[in-house]
Amino acid sequence: MSAERATEAGLVRLARRLAARSGGTGVRVGIGDDCAVLDPTPGAALIATTDLLLEDVHFRRRWAEPADIGWKAMAVNLSDIASMGAEPRWALVALACPAGTRMEEVEAFYAGALALAERHGVALVGGDTSSSPHGWLVNVTVLGETPAPPLLRSTARPGDVVAVTGPLGRAAAGLALLERRAAPRGLNPGILADVTAAHLRPRPRLEEAGWLARAGGVTAMMDLSDGLATDLGRLAAESGVGACVELERLPVDAATRAVARAVGGDATAWATGGGEDYELLLTCAPAEVERLRAGLPAKAGARLSVVGAVVPGPGVRWLDSRGREVAVAAGFEHLSSRTAAGARR
Ligand SMILES: [Mg+2]
């Protein structure tokens, strides 16, 4: 670690050193030439995804450390690869940070990203660095593979159930705490740490997705990045179907409810519209639910919960405990608009 300022040459040296240390296979030429040269598995489909994270749009430096930013930039891409039932293999990381950023902050950023990449056998094979006139800007691209046909969001069928792989609204509860200047009185510190970690360090459901892809029976799948309301709307539209969700069936855990009570938030709105939970949203025939629920690896709170059904019509309908149709909070909005919405309350 070093207190020196980050320079272009220093950043390139750092990236090369870290890439050499990172795991993964299928890298003929890594960082150092104009392009990486990769050896995909013969016959496998190549899967590609990219995501942009911007300071004060997706995170604030006040509450996100460089290692958190690196972790999350990698996690959101790995979650997209997971949602296809694919395996991540190679990552490219581009970073722009403000003048005056210290080398140790950049090292911490890479350490956060690579801790997660290494856990899933992903090699760092390229990237770019620049200074930024504004805040931090991160762009990660991940390439993955799947030998089997990838799971798509466009193939749900009327009569299927709609299910998710874990609790919803935790990341939004975490964000509500992070955005406050002080912790609310009376909230258990363990709960505070738990839900803020859900926001800062999401765990992509790669193992669960891999298992689901191999198990068969899943008709459509995507990851929940922008909240159930938005993402289920997308799945339904892409599949040319509708969906019906029973709000009572949404898996909202005790920690999220405790935060909602402590800050005067709405746990159900967080579950439908909060976003950034990075659970898997999937559809399957009703007859497959018990087999998939029993077999799903039960790590880090993973549990298959049926929340509704795929129906013929267009759009998503939301039903309360009496079966009446209700309106729900829309999906994820970025920090600026979310803060404005928060200020109205
Ligand atoms: Mg996605």
130 CA from centroid of ligand 1 (Å): 27
- Percent of the chain residues topping a pLDDT of 90: 81
222 CA from centroid of ligand 1 (Å): 6
pLDDT tens column, 289-321: 999 999 999 888 899 999 999 999 899 999 999
Tell me what pLDDT residue 204 has: 97
Tell me what pLDDT residue 334 has: 64
Please state which of the ranges 56-70, 130-144, 174-188, 323-337 shows the lowest mean pLDDT. 323-337
- Mean pLDDT calculated for residue range 226-235: 97
Tell me what pLDDT residue 295 has: 97
Q: Is 315 helix (H, G, I), strand (E, B) or coil?
A: strand
253 CA from centroid of ligand 1 (Å): 23
107 CA from centroid of ligand 1 (Å): 28
Residue owning tokens 């090369």: 16
Please state which of the ranges 18-22, 250-254, 255-259, 335-339 shows the lowest mean pLDDT. 335-339
The rounded mean pLDDT for the chain is: 92
Q: List the one residue out of 124, 158, 329, 324 whose CA is nearest residue 241.
A: 158
Tell me what pLDDT residue 19 has: 82
Tell me what pLDDT residue 333 has: 61
Residue 6 burial class via C-beta count within 10 angstroms: exposed 0-12, middle 13-18, buried 19 and up: buried
165 CA from centroid of ligand 1 (Å): 14
128 CA from centroid of ligand 1 (Å): 24
**Interior angle at CA 17, CA 12 and CA 23, nearest 5:** 125
Confidence of residue 3 (pLDDT cuts 50, 70, 90): low
Domain boundaries, the chain: 8-146, 161-344
202 CA from centroid of ligand 1 (Å): 14
Q: Given a cut of 70, is residue 338 above it in pLDDT?
A: no
Confidence of residue 28 (pLDDT cuts 50, 70, 90): very high
86 CA from centroid of ligand 1 (Å): 13
316 CA from centroid of ligand 1 (Å): 18
9 CA from centroid of ligand 1 (Å): 34
Q: List the one residue out of 167, 187, 172, 200 whose CA is nearest residue 258.
A: 187
59 CA from centroid of ligand 1 (Å): 18
Cα dihedral 331→335→341→345 (10° resolution)? 110
Amino acid at 103: M
Query: Where in 204-314 does DSSP place strands (E)?
Result: 218-223, 242-246, 280-284, 305-311
How far, in Å, CA of 246 to CA of 320, rounded?
6
How far, in Å, CA of 193 to CA of 172, rounded?
13
Q: Given a cut of 90, is residue 79 above it in pLDDT?
A: yes
Give the dihedral sign, CA 290/293/87/276: positive
Architecture category of domain 161-344 in CATH: Alpha-Beta Complex (3.90)
125 CA from centroid of ligand 1 (Å): 22
Confidence of residue 336 (pLDDT cuts 50, 70, 90): low
Architecture category of domain 8-146 in CATH: 2-Layer Sandwich (3.30)
224 CA from centroid of ligand 1 (Å): 7
Q: Given a cut of 80, is residue 60 above it in pLDDT?
A: yes
pLDDT tens column, 117-132: 999 999 999 998 888 9
**Interior angle at CA 230, CA 69 and CA 176, nearest 5:** 45
Tell me what pLDDT residue 221 has: 98
286 CA from centroid of ligand 1 (Å): 24
275 CA from centroid of ligand 1 (Å): 11
75 CA from centroid of ligand 1 (Å): 11
Quick check: 239 and 220 in contact, CB under 8 A? yes
261 CA from centroid of ligand 1 (Å): 30
Tell me what pLDDT residue 341 has: 36
